Each structure stands twice: as structure tokens, then as C-alpha cells.
Amino acid sequence: MLKRLELHNHTTESDASITVSELLEFMLEDHVDAFALTDHNTTSGHHKIKKLLAENNYPIECILGMEYTTYYGHILCLNLETYVPWENINLHKPELLFRAAKEAGALAGIAHPFSYGAPFARGCRFDMTVTDYSAVDFIEVFNCPEPLHEVNEPGLKLYEDLVLQGEDLAMTTGMDLHGRWKMTGHYATYVDCEPGEPISTALDRAIKTQKTFITKGPVFEASILNPSDSESGPTSGIITDSPSNVAIATKQKETNLRCHLHPVIKPGFTHDPESVWMIECLTLDGSTWFEAPTLSTEDFIISCSAIRGLAKEPSAAPGSNRVIVKLYEGKSGEGQAAIERLIAISPTVKF
């Protein structure tokens, strides 16, 4: 079962305008499945939220966390039960703090890497030099209230570049809530959760296997369909391999990419029913765009041979072929930059 998570939220325990109790109410009103409590440099809200949830039968879970707000960047920690000191933060060895948080059982990621920092808000931009990205679990690719082109677009590109180069990083998004801010129209993170499974466990698995979904609306997933799967697999897909070259790619004896919409939509999502949907397949060699005539929960199949970077003989090493697959509303060249039309990002496809 896919659950919607809001992974970056503050309260009056640090510098926000809503209390822990008010944050909980706000998340309940928006039908969030689980939210993280990530105040700046304090875990003082943890016992308060635990008490509220224990005393009430709310249909929501809380992910304990904290935003390490250092002089050189913000490090978002999720599933953080124990405060880990950060005062020895080292501009040139941030891995030390990431690893210390992970040893304490937390998931540690880079928050809003390209926010504006000094001279206005020192620390908001991630200025630290990461030498070993295996210490980092995730990158917050969208800090929703931040400027799209100046802050979030380079954040997404950083994630994409690192992942396509072989780093095993998950992506997250967050509202960075400091008050009762409207969440409609912004991205949320979704993860798959087994029945009865605590959200902390599901999140841990999703981050460590890079299986997080980001969307403003429908939850979108791309996965590899091997030739043997194709013989018995779905056959309903129709896709174009370029706007002018329509191709039907079903039951082909080759590796295909299956794009799938889960029947889960973020509340408040609206779109033009006449819209054209586009799928971008990004590899190290660049982007290939495909037009999806309809938006539905039926599979659409893309031949990997049509994807730039995969058209040649794919690498034999398992997992060394990587594709980042993104869903857009509307065609490119319609006056808006692509990222302004970006609806959803699938977990990275590795094969």
C-alpha cells in the first residue's frame, strides 16, 4: 500500500509558528498518512508527539527526526530517536556526521542543497564537500516553497547526476513547513508499506532501496519488463518513441520499460483532461521523450532500444544501466520549461 509522507516539518519547538499538536491536526486535516517531525537542532517535540499519538487513535503516524542546522548546510535526519551531537561538524568531512546519525539508526540526507545561504541565512545552502556519497541516504530534491528554477531545479539535477553516475541515493521532497502552509499543488513523497508495517520500517526500506516516489498527483512508476515477462505480461501499452514516430511496443523479444500509474493520487491534484502526457527517460547520455496519449492506470511500454543511452548494447553488469523516468503534463516547447510541467518521478530504474 502506498502511503503519502510529509518529511520536512517544523514546530514552535524551533522556529515555526505551530505547536506539535497543531502540526498533527494540520496533517490530519490534509489526510497525510505519516509526517516527520524535523525541528532545527532539537528533539524536544518527540516526547510530545509520542504522547499525543499514544493517547489518541489518530489515523496517522509520525516519523521522528531532526534537521541538523549547521553553519555549512542542513542535514535532514529521519527515524532519529537519539540526538547525535553535531558541534564538531567539519566543512570538509560531512560524512562524519552523516555516519554518526546512521549509526544511531537514522536516515540522513541533504536538505535543500541549493537554498540561498550566506550572507542572508548562513547554513541554508549545502556548502560541505561530500567525498563519499555512500554516507548519504537521500537528497531532498524538492523543498517545495523554495524557488523552482534557482533552488529546486539544481537540487534535482544534483540527485540525477549522482544517481546516473552510480550513487545509490534516494530522493525525497518536503514542505519545510513552518506554519499552516497550503500543501495542495506541491510535491509529496510516497513509499510502499506492507499491511500493519510501521512507517519507520517502510521508510527505512524505501530509502535504502531507493524506492521513493515523488508526485504532485498520480504516483508514477517505471520498471523493467524483461523479454520473458513480455511474453505473458501486459499488452495494452501504446507509446511513441518520438513525437513524430508512433510505435507500438508490446510482446517484443527485448527489454522494455513498463510505465505504470498507481491508483493513488495526491489530494487536490487537478489537471486538464485534454492534456498530453509526456514521459522523459533520462540516462547518462541525455533525455529521450515519449508521448503518452492517455493518462491511465494501464501500462505503457517503452522499448529500451528507443531510449538514448540504452539503444546501444546495454551494459552487462547488473544494476549498471540506470534510467530516471519522469512524468510531465503537456508537451515541451509550449512556453514552459520542462520542470514547470513535472508531475511525478519514478524510483530510478536499475538493471
Contacting positions for other proteins (CB under 8 A)? 12-15, 39-44, 47, 69, 71, 83, 85, 87, 116-123, 125
CA distance 3 to 18: 24
DSSP H or E run through 161: helix 153-164
Report the nearest approach of other proteins to the CB of residue 126 (Å): 13
Report the nearest approach of other proteins to the CB of residue 156 (Å): 18
At residue 23, the 3 state secondary structure works out as: helix
C-alpha angle 268-273-274 in degrees, rounded to nearest 5: 145
Our CB check for other proteins shows the closer of 42 and 287 to be: 42
Q: Are 60 and 81 in contact (CB under 8 A)?
A: no
Report the nearest approach of other proteins to the CB of residue 90 (Å): 12
Q: Which residues contact 292 (CB under 8 A, 6 or more apart)?
A: 239, 259, 276, 277, 278, 279, 300, 327
CA distance 72 to 54: 37
Report the nearest approach of other proteins to the CB of residue 77 (Å): 13
Q: Are 234 and 274 in contact (CB under 8 A)?
A: no
Our CB check for other proteins shows the closer of 13 and 204 to be: 13
Report the nearest approach of other proteins to the CB of residue 141 (Å): 19
Report the nearest approach of other proteins to the CB of residue 116 (Å): 7
Our CB check for other proteins shows the closer of 48 and 308 to be: 48
CA distance 62 to 68: 18
Torsion over CA of 169, 170, 171 and 176, rounded to 10 degrees?
Answer: -100
Report the nearest approach of other proteins to the CB of residue 123 (Å): 6
Q: At what angle do helices 20-29 and 46-55 cross, to 10 degrees?
A: 50
Our CB check for other proteins shows the closer of 50 and 350 to be: 50
CA distance 211 to 159: 14
Report the nearest approach of other proteins to the CB of residue 169 (Å): 24
Q: Which residues contact 33 (CB under 8 A, 6 or more apart)?
A: 3, 4, 5, 60, 61, 193, 199
Our CB check for other proteins shows the closer of 58 and 71 to be: 71
Our CB check for other proteins shows the closer of 70 and 346 to be: 70
Our CB check for other proteins shows the closer of 124 and 301 to be: 124
Q: Which residues contact 120 (CB under 8 A, 6 or more apart)?
A: none
Report the nearest approach of other proteins to the CB of residue 115 (Å): 11
Our CB check for other proteins shows the closer of 83 and 351 to be: 83
Three-state DSSP string of 163-225:
HHCCCCCEEEEECCECCCCCCCCCCEEEEECCCCCCHHHHHHHHHHCCCCEEECCEEEEEEEE
Our CB check for other proteins shows the closer of 84 and 188 to be: 84
